[in-house]
Amino acid sequence: MGENKQNDLLNQEKIISLLEQQQATKFRNVFLVLHVYEQAQIFIELTKKQRARVYRYLTPEELGATFNAIEEEPERVISYFDEMTPNYAAAVITQMYTDNAVDILAFAEKKNLANYLRLMPREKSDEIKEMLHYEDKTAGSIMATELVKIVGNQTARSGLHVLKKEAKEAETIYYAYVIDDDEKLIGVVTLRQLLISDDDALIRDIMNDQVKSVKVDEDQEDVAKTIRDYNFLAIPVTDYDNKLIGIITVDDIIDVIDEESAEDYSGLAGVDIEDSPDDPFKAAKKRLPWLVTLLFLGMSTATLISHYEQLVSEASILAVFISSITGTAGNAGTQSLAVAVRKLAYKDDDTKTIMRTIFTEAITGLVIGLVTGLTIFVIVGLWKNNFILGLVIGLAMMCAIIVANLAGSLIPIVMDKLGFDPAVASGPFISTLSDLTSVLIYFNIAGLFLSFITGTGN
């Protein structure tokens, strides 16, 4: 066990012991010196009884800082607020960053939400209510409203004074955003620029007026790409009138990337891993529709095989290699799918990029198919002492892999163009589709060489 992990366990055991002994002062002395991430990790491991004591021992401001670092699913975090008195819960929420609070409150019952908002300061509750109306997974839904605003006719000295005043509440102090009298975004100035500039220099003379921003309804994945491409620590969010209404920080974007990656993996696996309940019956209920759909698609493969029953009866050896061809083609298709989805997620969506992806996957499929086909040709020819059979298997596998590779790259691109999430072109779907095409290719090639396989050819 690593030293850090061992220290974390010791801290957890010590804190739990102090809570059990109801040693409030000692608990505070130990708990509050920990990093907020460590506090959050310990908090979620506590029992309901232990958490009740935490609510008594910590101020709302102290617990609010801990809750900002909790990385559990919001559906579970909201249950912690239900354990508190309404006044204490409202005070904790007030101390949290607005974007973090909104993520959790989106899962609150309407009655409880109304109660929390009623007990909060008017300004904070208005901010939360406004953000709750933004569509999920947009810039508005993940932005924070705690930011530093200054105006262009201020001096650097005055700007630093504002920054110092707002530093305690702001999500980040490395950027101060410059607005005009109508609160429209006109520029950005960094903390470094404020520190090195002459005290009497005007903000409008030292600011960068080529400020990059995102609209409030922009997709969170596009926001993540912008922050990644420009190496920003934060990016401002504006409404349609270019009024500054919030910022999105890089730590929020890390959460978005994790979420989008989980969704992509869910699509490739054919199951929503983020929304998979602990109840096995509920989990089964969510997965069954997709599996039943694939079952019917799989039945079409079985029907196709039965169509070639006469061919198999004449050359029963063909049945031995069905699973090898379909399995290999399915694996190749899934690999191609993963590459295509990845490129769609991280590259510009232009025609050149799309055509390059398709061309690359076609050539890749051809190379893989040739190598795999030649390999199986030699293996089967030597194994069965029948190189005609080896040729059939090799050709079928090569063609099946090429088709699967093209399908794996084309299907997500087409879905993306149609406005659907390309990740839903899942691995199981591609595998099942590859089975169908592979069987069709295999038996058609085998039919051409049937007389040579059975030894009746000239």
Question: What pLDDT was estimated at residue 327?
Answer: 87
Question: What pLDDT was estimated at residue 410?
Answer: 85
Q: What is the pLDDT of residues 62-90, one digit of tens each?
A: 999 999 999 888 888 999 999 999 999 99
Sequence ranges of the domains in the chain: 3-134, 149-252, 280-454
Closest to 140 in 3D by CA, of 52, 255, 274, 245? 245
Specify the 3-state DSSP secondary structure of 134.
coil
Residue with token string 């025609």: 351
Cβ atoms of 95 and 65 within 8 Å: the answer is yes
Residues sharing a CB contact under 8 Å with residue 196, sequence separation 6 or more, in sequence order: none
Question: Cβ of 340: how many Cβ atoms within 10 Å?
Answer: 26
The alpha carbon of residue 26 and the mean position of all alpha carbons in its chain are separated, in whole angstroms, by 40
β-strand partners of 175: 190
Closest to 240 in 3D by CA, of 140, 329, 358? 140
3-134 shares its CATH topology with 149-252 = no
Q: Which CATH number fits the domain 149-252, given the four candidates 3.40.50.620, 3.40.50.970, 3.10.580.10, 3.30.930.10?
A: 3.10.580.10
CA distances 276 to 114, 246, 445, Å, are 29, 32, 43
pLDDT, the chain, mean = 85
Question: What pLDDT was estimated at residue 264?
Answer: 55
> Is residue 1 over pLDDT 80?
no
Domain 280-454 has CATH 1.10.357.20: yes
- Which CATH fold would you assign to the domain 3-134? MgtE N-terminal fold (1.25.60)
Question: What pLDDT was estimated at residue 108?
Answer: 93
Cβ atoms of 441 and 373 within 8 Å: the answer is no
Specify the 3-state DSSP secondary structure of 385.
coil
β-strand partners of 185: 179
Q: What is the pLDDT of residues 411-437, one digit of tens each?
A: 888 877 777 666 555 666 777 788 889
Question: What pLDDT was estimated at residue 52?
Answer: 95
Residue 269's pLDDT band, with cuts at 50, 70 and 90, is low
> Is residue 397 over pLDDT 70?
yes
> Is residue 335 over pLDDT 90?
no
β-strand partners of 244: 238
Across the range 335-342, mean pLDDT stands at 78
* The amino acid at 195: L
Question: What pLDDT was estimated at residue 429?
Answer: 73
CA dihedral sign, ordered 180, 184, 189, 191:
positive
Max distance between CA atoms of the chain, in angstroms, equals 99
CA dihedral sign, ordered 409, 415, 421, 427:
negative
The answer to whether the pTM exceeds 0.75 is no
> Is residue 283 over pLDDT 90?
no
* The amino acid at 432: T
> Is residue 275 over pLDDT 70?
no
CA–CA gap between residue 128 and residue 449 (Å, rounded): 71
